[in-house]
Amino acid sequence: MSKGSPISPSLMAAKSAGAPKAPEKVDRPADAVVDNAATLSPVLGPNNVVPPTVMTGSEAIVRSLEELGVDDIFGLPGGAILPTYDPLMASKMNHVLVRHEQGAGHAAQGYAMVTGRVGVCIATSGPGATNLVTAIMDAHMDSVPSWPLPARYRLPSSALMPSRKLTSSASPCRSPSIPSW
């Protein structure tokens, strides 16, 4: 045990007593054929690793929320968040429809204060996400666990490039609309 370990020696002994034992090594002849299919777990793949699952980003968000034990989500559908609503409506989570994104944030904050669980709110990008800011800061100032999930649009790579090239006559120090006297 390393110095400063938070686990006491008695707890460490109790944990090791209940730990599963390693399987005993079986001596086999060198030419014996081992059936790998029989040694694989039915749930886990080769080397006891869970095989990857192909899913969309929206499905991954909803699945993560389910695995974290989220039961209720507050939000307003629209725009960029709509693809997330398809797997959300197919899940067991309860969606509470609000009339405004700020209301979703404050409802999630109130839910967290009353239940002691994390309050989750979702909104679309742009003004929808901006409307969550007051509720986010209010929850932060009150130390209330809140998890806002704003959406965003996917931008093509051409949108990230500059729209104009600077020429040698361009001056970075002054705007063309301001006269230089």
CA dihedral sign, ordered 73, 74, 77, 79: negative
Q: What is the DSSP string of 115-147?
A: HSSPEEEEE-STHHHHTTHHHHHHHHHTT--EE
> Across the strands, what pairs with 123?
150
pTM over 0.75? The answer is no
Predicted pLDDT at 85: 92
- Give the pLDDT mean for 20-41: 51
The domain segmentation of the chain, as residue ranges, is 57-152
| Class (C level, CATH) for 57-152 | alpha beta
Question: Do 119 and 146 form a contact (C-beta atoms < 8 A)?
Answer: yes
- Give the pLDDT mean for 120-135: 92
169 by DSSP, 3-state: which? coil
Distance CA 72, CA 148 (A): 13
Residue pLDDT, tens place only, 41-57: 455 556 666 677 788 88
Residue pLDDT, tens place only, 59-105: 999 999 999 999 999 999 988 899 999 999 999 999 999 999 999 99
